Amino acid sequence: MTSIHDLATPALLVDSGALDHNLAVMTEALPGERLRPHVKATKCTALARSQAARGHRGFTCATIREMEGMAAAGLGEDLLLANEVLDAARLGALDARVTVAIDSPETIAAAVRGGVREVLIDVNVGLPRCGCAPERAGALGDAARKAGLEVRGVMGYEGHVVGLEDATERAKRCRESMALLLAAHADVGGDVVSAGGTGTYACNTVGTEIQAGSYSLMDTAYAKLGLPFVQALSVWSTVVSVSEKYAVADCGLKSLGMDHGNPDVEGAAVWFCSDEHLTFAPEQPVSVGDRIRVLPAHVDPTVAYHERLHLVSGDEVVDVWEIDLRGW
């Protein structure tokens, strides 16, 4: 048995009890096809396999590499690339059911050229990112069908809403976004209305499927929302230097996604991160060699830095999962 105290640091830890809890809560809320887990947050086919075992057979991906890795892992029953791509040939070559988001004539042409057969019309529901204007969705759907593509329906990601801390406001703005998506869906047709994320998994009752990913591991940003998911992910770090007013641990900018700000350390104030260092002021004295759990502010870009995650129960490492969907 490997103990976490024997691991080289920094190392990603996933509390297996917390993970199980999160997976179970979500499956109860959104069973089977109601959830299309997004793999971008975790980039780990082993974790996806445990989601599939709970009945979620369709998955959402953000990159071609994620699609390839999921197909290679035998998890290609119904893969959605919820993103626009111009080089779809790698997708067309996959031994999997592949659906790709399109929002323009160019992405329709790319899907056809690449040998992709099924698409969703990606609709902008308020986040200034990909997706066509809602009123253009019908025409794009027609154009896609005319080009020989099967149009399964629509998708629209309310990414500007999922992180709102006020639950009432979040639900209200989610409804507004989904009204746009429903209008587009009326024009496009098809069985699928794909939407949502961890922050709106409960209030988004419009999506036929919800693309949540972060719920399985969680981060300190989502923790502020009062969701029934618990923090499963941490970066295990060693205290390498101690001064009078602060201490330094061996994780930093290359083991933590920083776009949501500094990570948290329980019982300590985090001062700043450097490439391989975290400077923090602990409330209780720490010693060189002590190990601490650092809680990332944003799960997705944190996981993407690491080669593997260590599934732990207490201090025991019960499994090691490769983060095998990194890169592009």
In the complex, the residues that contact a copy of itself under the rule CB under 8 A are: 8-11, 40, 62-64, 83-87, 103-104, 106-107, 124, 128-131, 133, 159, 238, 240-243, 245-246, 248, 250, 253-255, 257-259, 271, 273-277, 279, 287-289, 298, 300-301, 304-307, 327-328
Distance CA 60, CA 99 (A): 10
Distance CA 320, CA 287 (A): 28
For a copy of itself, the closer of residues 27 and 112 by Cβ is: 112
212, with CB counted inside 10 A (0-12, 13-18, 19+), is: buried
Say if CB 181 and CB 126 are below 8 A apart: no
Which residue(s) pair with 150 in the sheet?
118
For a copy of itself, the closer of residues 27 and 126 by Cβ is: 126
Min dist CB 201 to a copy of itself, Å, is 18
Min dist CB 317 to a copy of itself, Å, is 16
CA dihedral 93, 95, 98, 100 (to 10 degrees): -30
Min dist CB 63 to a copy of itself, Å, is 6
For a copy of itself, the closer of residues 132 and 232 by Cβ is: 132
Which residue(s) pair with 11 in the sheet?
236
Min dist CB 17 to a copy of itself, Å, is 26
Which residues 6+ apart lie within 8 Å of 135 measured at CB?
183, 184
For a copy of itself, the closer of residues 27 and 131 by Cβ is: 131
Min dist CB 32 to a copy of itself, Å, is 26
For a copy of itself, the closer of residues 29 and 240 by Cβ is: 240
Which residues 6+ apart lie within 8 Å of 72 measured at CB?
none
Helices (H), 73-118: 89-92, 105-114
Min dist CB 163 to a copy of itself, Å, is 12
For a copy of itself, the closer of residues 188 and 239 by Cβ is: 239
